[in-house]
Amino acid sequence: KRPNTYQEDVANQMERQLEQYNGCILIASTGLGKTIMATEVTLRLFRKELIDSLIVFAPVPTHTDWKRAVSAANVPLQVFTRNLLDVPEAKGGGALEEMLIALDEADEKSVIVVDEAQYFANRYAQPKGKQRKRERESYKRLMRVVQENGAYIILMTATPFVKRARDINNQL
């Protein structure tokens, strides 16, 4: 799908922010085409040879939409459920291993998209019983791949403020 006029304007801004800051946040109401806009920006970066792969973390019901949108653009894609980002390595499993390998291989020529980024409004896991407050695995993993490996990141959400103003800062 080709973006319409307002989506084109948003994609232009996203592209500038990605090239300047290596990241951006796309806040748009449900149904306004966040997937289309993120795919358009990814395609532009791919055509400029700034990227060569895309990793998407999204809710399972949107995986087919992502695969359909990106396959038309011919950008190499891996799609994972966003919940997988918080699964401890000790839990293991094929999907977790595949995700960890993808993150380890991600570099300055990779784009990571976090669809429904409001899921990450809480930087710290809620302690159970006498447990101490600890940083979520998702933060450690994404911060490492973005800061150390230089991957681009696109955060997408329709609801950046979950409960408090600091929710958006946690996402950023």
Tens of pLDDT, residue by residue over 75-90, are: 899 999 989 999 988 8
Contact 135, 123 (CB under 8 A): yes
Going by their DSSP bridges, the two strands 124-125 and 134-135 should be labelled as antiparallel
Token pair recorded at residue 2? 């080709």
Question: Model's pTM, two decimal places?
Answer: 0.86
pLDDT band at 103 (very low <50, low <70, confident <90, very high): very high
| Mean pLDDT lowest among 11-20, 29-38, 43-52, 95-104 | 29-38
Q: How many CA atoms lie within 13 A of 55 on its CB side?
A: 26
3-state class of 49 per DSSP?
Answer: coil
Cβ contacts of 93 within 8 Å, gap of 6 or more: 87
